[in-house]
Amino acid sequence: MQDKPTNDIQKLSGHFESQPPAALNQSEKDAIIERQLRFQQLLISISTTYINSDLSDIDALINTSLHQIGEFVASDRSYIFSYDFVNNTASNTYEWCAEGIAPEIEHLQNVPMDYIPDWVEAHKQGVPFYVEDVSLLPDDGELGLKAVLEPQGIKSLITIPKFENNELIGFIGFDSVQHINKYDDNEKEILFVYANMLVNVRQRKETELRIQAQERKKEELLQHLSLQNEALNEYAHVVSHDLKAPLINIHTLIGWYMEDHQDTLSAQQLKPLEQVLFNVEKMDFLIRGILDYSTIERLESDDTTIDFNVIITDVLQTLLVPSHIQIQVQDHLPKYRGNTWRFKQVFQNLIQNGIKYNDKPTGEISIGCTETADDLMFSIRDNGMGIHSNYFDKIFKVFTKLESTGSSSGIGLSIVKKIISHYHGEIWLESTEGAGSTFYFTLPKL
């Protein structure tokens, strides 16, 4: 089988290495070489146009290239067909016709391959099918090739097979209606290059259409996910809010009961009541965490100038910082635009963690920021207990806790992650057990 044509336009130069016949005079040889060079330049121009085009322009550019190639080889009609080997048919997909030449594309859909067996067989072998003079074809009856071509007024034609991944997918063709046309070997080789170029264009079109379909599906999924998240946040907010009222009632009633009977209740009787109060307070703490988590994306006003030094100072004034813990904050932290409450939640949760899980006689927490070309990178470093690497990802998930005490809801770090993600940043930590942890988060520069 003949080698399939390459898709590299640079290979065109190889088609011109054969010399014109020695019998020709020098001017005739020069004319042939000059024509070959112009043909090469035309294909390079077409290839460049394809490369720089948008997907929406591809069909028009294919028709334009059929026009350009058709005129160059002096044909009256140029076209592209696709083979359908499942149904054993061929269909005309693109067509250019010279002025005064009737188009045939509408009449050449789902043409049985049985009409053109020699034609198809040549293409399967990877060679062109060339009829220099249709009138010299044998009369094979109404289903013969001559009976198919003559009603279209065709005097000469050449068709070049198209292969994709070594599979025959169709062909390009050139009809001459007004005169008999001859094609030399160099022209046939160049037409092979053009056929392969069209295959590459088809592959690009199919790839871009597939990418567009994937992007549409991605956008639909993201939109659906956004709606689901919004609905879940709304549900969590409503449910959490509705749960607070009965919890307050339970806490109040038990408190009243214990106060009214403080003189008669024994220590044994008080213990279960105190346990109920403890669990009610634990539940209230959890609900407040859920409310905070579900409220993050409800907050408006994302366009306030944030002074992080002021934010951290405000947070520290609300926290109970033990006397043995020293907190250092970098001077002149960068400013940002966002929601003040969101960033207070970020630093409050991260600083609280550094305080709560610090087991050293002298605790240290340091807060700083460095800048890269694209991001601000904040760090909150402590010398506390440290965290095992197994928890590095888990602790940012809702309800994940490092200990089973009632003083933690397991929501704080998930709130931090959700806020940082809202601003298109990332958060992670580095930690060594017994030596402390450093939480990092980035914010893209605005």
Encode pLDDT of 218-242 as tens digits: 888 878 777 766 666 665 655 655 6
Give me the pLDDT at residue 15, please: 41
Check pLDDT > 50 for residue 10: no
Give me the pLDDT at residue 336, please: 94
Tens of pLDDT, residues 119-177: 899 999 999 999 999 989 888 777 678 888 888 888 999 999 999 889 999 999 999 99
Is the pTM higher than 0.75? The answer reads: no
Asked whether 269 and 258 are in contact (CB, 8 A), the reply is no
Tens of pLDDT, residues 281-329: 766 666 666 666 666 655 555 678 999 999 999 889 888 889 999 999 9
Distance from the Cα of residue 257 to its chain's centroid: 62
Query: DSSP string of 8-25?
Result: -GGGGGGGG-SPPPTTS-
Report the range of poorest mean pLDDT among 6-20, 93-107, 195-209, 421-435: 6-20
Query: DSSP string of 152-194?
Result: GT-SEEEEEEEEETTEEEEEEEEEESSS-----HHHHHHHHHH
Structure tokens at 256: 């009243």
Check pLDDT > 60 for residue 17: no
**Residue written as token pair 């130069």:** 13
Check pLDDT > 80 for residue 72: yes
Domain chopping of the chain, boundaries: 9-207, 301-444
Spatial CA neighbour of 429 closest among 387, 366, 397: 387
Helix-then-strand count for the chain, H and E? 9, 13
Check pLDDT > 60 for residue 5: no
Q: How far apart are CA 117 and CA 123, in angstroms?
A: 10
Check pLDDT > 50 for residue 204: yes
Give me the pLDDT at residue 53, please: 72
Helix (H) or strand (E) holding 439: strand 436-444
Structure tokens at 104: 């045939």
Give me the pLDDT at residue 270, please: 82
Give me the pLDDT at residue 105, please: 93
What is the average pLDDT across 10-29? Answer: 54
**Residue written as token pair 């391959």:** 113
Tens of pLDDT, residues 337-360: 988 888 988 998 899 889 988 989
What is the average pLDDT across 15-28? Answer: 57
> How many C-beta neighbours within 10 Å does residue 420 have?
20
Give me the pLDDT at residue 335, please: 93
Q: How far apart are CA 374 and CA 100, in angstroms?
A: 62
Residue 178: which pLDDT band, with cuts at 50, 70 and 90? confident
Percent of the chain at pLDDT above 90? 32
Tens of pLDDT, residues 254-273: 888 888 888 888 888 888 88
Asked whether 16 and 33 are in contact (CB, 8 A), the reply is yes
What is the average pLDDT across 58-72? Answer: 89
Residues 187, 191, 193, 194: is their CA dihedral positive or negative? positive
- Separation in Å, CA 164 to CA 38, 48, 113, 174, 395: 27, 21, 20, 21, 51
Q: What is the mean pLDDT of the chain?
A: 82
Check pLDDT > 70 for residue 392: yes
CATH superfamily of 9-207: GAF domain (3.30.450.40)
Structure tokens at 277: 């109060």
Beta pairing partners, 335: 307
> Residue 37 contacts by C-beta under 8 Å, 6 or more apart in sequence?
16
> Residue 366 contacts by C-beta under 8 Å, 6 or more apart in sequence?
327, 328, 329, 330, 379, 380, 381, 382
Spatial CA neighbour of 169 closest among 142, 190, 147, 200: 200
Asked whether 333 and 305 are in contact (CB, 8 A), the reply is no
Report the range of poorest mean pLDDT among 14-23, 33-42, 55-64: 14-23
Report the range of poorest mean pLDDT among 73-77, 285-289, 295-299, 409-413: 295-299
Class of domain 301-444: alpha beta
